[in-house]
Structure 1
Amino acid sequence: MAWLWWLGAALVLGVVEMLTVDLIFLMFAGGALAATGVGLLGAPFWAQILTFSVVSTILLAAVRPWALRRMGRNAPGELTNVAAHVGRTAEVVTDVTDRAGRVKLVGEVWSARAAEPGLVLPTGTTVRVVRIEGATAVVAPVPVTLS
């Protein structure tokens, strides 16, 4: 009858894993399922505990690192929000100086200023976003390349 407790523990550990998504509780759930199987075969309780411990340790040591790499946990995250705009090009809507101006960036009009003091970027110029400061895009002219 102890196998029912192991099965319940595996289910609870599986639910906890869904909340944490760290792959630790999933490995313990695997150990609990192995202990469930041993319990169904009629093994004594100490053998069930030993099975749980050994299987969980093996899963933590061997399967979890592989699964984390497979899930791409070690890959750098994709830039989002304001950080995603740095490096993009924009079109000057209102002349941009080192104090004020407006650019159209990804379909939205942003407050902007030139990255270099004294620089004036006329309307229609293509610029590149150097950084974002608050709600203002700091821009620089895109170098013209001759083909």
Structure 2
Amino acid sequence: MEWLWWVGSALVLGILEMLSLELVFIMAAGGALAGGVASAAGAPLWVQIVVAAVVSVLLLVTLRPWLLRHLRRRTPLVETNASALVGRPAVVIATVTGETGRVKLAGEVWSARTSDGDALTPGTEVTVTRIDGATAVVVPTPRP
């Protein structure tokens, strides 16, 4: 009945994987199942532990990278938080210089600055090139 502990551990690790979605706990769950198989076969505890550890590591270094590669190929990366603001348009609401200024970005007022030190007057349309802390670094939007 020792194998039931291994199966229970695999279930707990599977639940943790559902919460993290990093494909790490599921590899450890596979190792736990392998430890359960060793237990059911009558192996001593130290062999069960070694089998679980070896299988977990093998799954981590072989199966996980392959799964991540295929998962990323099927699911596009969606930028979130500050990263999602890079490339978005904004409007200058208080003169922006190389040190200070304010822009309206995604419906919010952000502190802003230019990377080249040029001054931008209120009403100028700009594009965010990067987010530096809580400051948007902007450039004038080129006119077509």
TM-score (norm 2): 0.64
Match of 1:138 in 2: 137
Deviation of 1:130 (Å): 2.2
Residue 31 of structure 2, aligned match among 9, 28, 31 = 28
Q: Which has the larger radius of gyration?
A: 1
Match of 1:109 in 2: 109
Deviation of 1:127 (Å): 0.2
**1:28 aligned partner, one-letter code:** G
Distance in 2, Cα, partners of 1:116 & 1:65: 41
Runs of 4+ in 1 over 6 A off after TM superposition: none
Q: SS at 2:96's partner residue?
A: coil
Distance in 1, Cα, partners of 2:124 & 2:2: 70
Match of 2:126 in 1: 127
TM-score (norm 1): 0.63
Distance in 2, Cα, partners of 1:132 & 1:11: 46
Match of 1:100 in 2: 100
Identity over aligned pairs, percent: 41
Distance 1:11-1:102 versus aligned 2 partners, 3 A rule: same
Q: How many residues align?
A: 131
Q: Deviations over 1:88-147 (max 9, x none)?
A: 211112232334321111110012223322x332222210112333322221101111xx
Match of 1:8 in 2: 5
- Greater shift, 22-31 or 105-114, is seen at 22-31
Unaligned runs of 5+ in 1: none
